[in-house]
Structure 1
Amino acid sequence: MKKGVVLLAGIFVIVLGLLNCSRQTEKKVLLNVAYDVIRDFYHDYNQAFRQQHANIVISQSHGSASKQTLSVAKGLPADIVTLTQANDIDLLVQKGLVASDWAQRFPNNATPFGSVMVFLVKKGNPKQIRDWQDLTRNDVRVVFANPKTSANGRFAYLAAYSYAKQAFSGEAQQLDFIRRLLRNVPVLEAGARSATMVFTQRHFGDVLITPENEAALAAQRLDTQGFSVIYPSLTLYTPVLVAETTNTKINGTHKLAQTYLQGLWSEQGQELAAQHHFRPSNAKIAQKFTALFPKVNALDVNEQFGDWATINQQHFADNALFDQLYFQACVHCNSQAD
């Protein structure tokens, strides 16, 4: 009888030890939900992060900014979000998924680095596209993401509008400029990455309006096919914004998420961002990469157009200004075809 008790006790100790070992080696999963054209940076950042934190699994979700925001709002259990419009994160604040002071929880208003809107053209620039005015010529076809679904699409449209505001004093001329540009946009892609694929792989269009990091990546990787980056006279800065969600408290990943996000401001994180053609917020690191980043006249979208609630109401809500101008442009194109 005593031998049986001893045996059972021994088995219990072994099982308990195995359970404790299992708990110690159990991997934490960190889910980062991000907009589409930052996926290449995070691929490399995650590999570097896991070298220091081997006991985690980092899961990535990428797509158009609007889709990603709605997915998290509807229950996708993100630990971290990486977006480029403050109002997308503010929507998650309203849902109780992100703290209201998210922008103050990390340096530089939770912006570790950013990009600017540029043009990508075919090698040699056969259409001699230099500035926004060239995008209204009859012989030019323009590609960019749909502003209704893509944050980078909104930045592309608003960058063109910023140019129109400086180039023309009257509102009628400004609107006519945007209307003429939209006539040259045969199709709007859902996201910035799909717009890149259409332009670079299907060879559709003469110019792609896209963030600098995406254009540089395409020109670098597809150089044998021939693409060049063109910097217009005026553009918009596109911030990379990060925030931790309240899911980390449920998932037990709060400290891990904090460490992961803080690493974006480390010298290693900033250098990696620069290597992926994002403009670092660290001035010391930025100085090391001046050859990659020409000086540009990059404006702040909110200084130009107000907060995002105002921007969306005036430009991107159903039947707002973008819908009106795009419809008028399509009607003109159809009448010309007839």
Structure 2
Amino acid sequence: MKLWTSRCVTRRGFFHTLAAGALTLGGGCSGRGRGAELLHASFDATRELYRKINQAFAEHRQQQGQEPVRIKMSHGGSGAQARAVLDGLPAHVVSLALWLDIDTIVRKGLIEPSWESQFPHRSLPYISTVVFVVRQGNPWNIRDWPDLLQDQLRIVTANPKTSGGARLNMLAAWLSVTARGGSFPEAKDFLTRLLRKVPVLDSGARGAALTFARKGIGDVLLTWENEAYLQQRELRGRVEIVHPPLSVQAEPPVAVVHANARQAGAEELAHNYIRFLYSPVAQNIIAEQYLRPVHWTEDPRFTPMQLLRPVDPQHQLGDWHNIQKQFFAEGGLIDQIFREIS
């Protein structure tokens, strides 16, 4: 990725944000005075993204002569946010890290089953991927997934049993074997050898980032691309980013929480808000936050990569429910590997 010009981390800094509390509910930095209101529940890594988008949306409505809008944000772990909505958080819009987290809300009847088809690109205004963060100079000469198995090299990742981001790390590692013709047993062996190299498993991706950056543990960190660039900027040359030739496609979808939005009389506003995410203004903000917008392949700022969807039929993993059961549920593949290496 090249020629980034955005200065979009708050002045308190990326790692200050990492150390802050997990769940915040605040007034979204957009719209002043009385007017329409939206409550948007999102995952931790989108704080600065939606601060900027919410401001742009409020300005867009003002330019159109529409009533002012105030967007309140609730941030936390993706799974925790889904549970909060189920427990009564009256969010009108959710943007979560994993499809399964939104599906949890769908199954309770709060989101319409057709939510994916209500907005372009399966309700994905942006995507991301998993990359490697390495120490300055890339002393282990890491270029691709097989390089992670070098003797003595230590890997930092969050626990895939508790972190949605870490689950994508595991799926990326798995697909790096099978997408190149490797068998399922070979992919399991690769995952086992990789997890043996993890000295500590933090519960979340942000904890893993702190372990790597502040505690100096590990030689390579597996993380989302946007988080990697924020770390690189904050650490000022002490780390580098390696884009492997192929990786997993991270798909954080967005949806209207129809039951809550209707009850609040905010359904049209919620739909307009999500449609705004696909506008040129919002897509540019998304790119400035190091997330890959809808047309990222046409944007020279982004490193070309082969991005793989685990649910595509050629990978033979089934749908997200099957992947969850096969890999991450009790007694699944990750539990089997943990028992083997403990």
SS class of match (1:144): strand
TM-score (norm 1): 0.83
Corresponding pairs, count:
301
State the shift of 1:188 in Å.
2.2
Larger mean CA deviation between 235-244 and 26-35 belongs to 26-35
Give the share of equivalent positions with the same residue, in percent: 37
Is residue 44 of structure 1 aligned with residue 52 of structure 2?
Answer: yes
Cα deviation for residue 103 of structure 1 reads 0.6
Q: Is the Cα contact below 8 Å between 2:56 and 2:282 reproduced in 1?
A: no
**1:264-300, CA deviations, whole angstroms, 9 ceiling, x for partnerless residues?**
10000111111111111146xx53x31x211111111
CA deviations on 1:176-225 (whole Å, 9 max, x unpaired) are: 2111100111222222233222222332211111111111121123224x
Match of 1:295 in 2: 304
Aligned partner letter, 1:306: G
Pairing 1:221–2:229 present: no
Q: TM-score, normalised by structure 2?
A: 0.82
Secondary structure of the structure 2 residue equivalent to 1:240 = coil
Quick one: which amino acid aligns to residue 72 of structure 2?
Answer: S
Determine the structure 1 residue equivalent to 2:41.
33
Deviation at 1:132, TM superposition (A): 1.4
Residue 120 of structure 1: aligned partner: 133
Query: Are the equivalent residues in 2 in contact too, given 1:50–1:56 (CA < 8 A)?
Result: yes
Alignment-mate amino acid for residue 198 of structure 2: V
Listed one character per residue, the Cα deviations across residues 44-92 of structure 1 (whole Å, up to 9, x for unaligned) are 1122223345733322222222222122122221111112322221111
Q: Provide structure 1 residue ranges, at least 5 long, that are not aligned to the other structure.
A: 1-24, 332-338
* Alignment partner of 1:256 is 2:256: no
Alignment-derived partner of residue 267 in structure 1: 280
Q: Show the 5 A alignment for 1:175-194.
A: 175-194=188-207
Q: What CA distance in whole angstroms lies between the structure 2 residues aligned with 1:63 and 1:148?
A: 17
Amino acid of the structure 2 residue aligned with 1:47: Q
SS at match of 2:331: coil
C-alpha separation in 1, matches of 2:137 and 2:163: 29
User: What is the CA–CA distance in structure 2 between the aligned matches of 1:172 and 1:268, rounded to whole Å?
Assistant: 46
After superposition, the CA RMSD in angstroms is 1.9
Deviates more, 1:108-117 or 1:54-63: 54-63
From the two aligned structures, give the one with the greater helix fraction. 1
In 2, Cα distance between equivalents of 1:74 and 1:229 = 39
| Structure 2 CA distance for aligned equivalents of residues 150 and 50 of structure 1 | 33
Q: For residue 48 of structure 1, what is the amino acid of its counterpart?
A: A
1:107 matched to 2:120? The reply is yes
For 2:48 and 2:152, how far apart are their aligned partners in 1? 33
